[in-house]
Amino acid sequence: MKIRPLHDRIIVRRIPPATMTAGGLHIPESAQPKQQRGEVVFCGPGQLLKNGSRAPMPCAVGETVIFGLRAGEDFQFDGETLSILTAEYCVGVEETAGAANG
């Protein structure tokens, strides 16, 4: 089954935060920050503009996005928890190591 988000909405699979520090210390669950990164699994066609055209989406399926702390609504789909949010809540897209800067 597949979901087709409307307009400028994206559906992400949240990426769990690290449970160990770089020095090897365990971070307890109560001290871990809320997940603010996610992999885009479904992407809408873009916001519909007044002239009838669509604005391009700032991200694509498969990319990792960074979004606000309380962004999105969680829901269950095919046995996993996903989040749906509008593209405006995404503050960045993670670039792969070797990608040219801007």
pLDDT score at 92: 86
Domain map of the chain by residue range? Answer: 1-11+31-79
pLDDT score at 97: 63
**CB neighbour burial string for 31-49, b if at least 16 within 10 angstroms, e if fewer:** eeeeebebebbbbbeebee
Question: Do residues 70 and 3 touch, judged by C-beta distance below 8 A?
Answer: no
pLDDT digits (tens, 9 = 90+) for 30-66: 766 666 889 999 998 988 889 989 988 888 899 999 9
User: Which homologous superfamily does the CATH classification assign to the domain defined by 1-11+31-79?
Assistant: GroES chaperonin (2.30.33.40)
Q: Is the dihedral of CA 68, 66, 43, 59 positive or negative?
A: positive
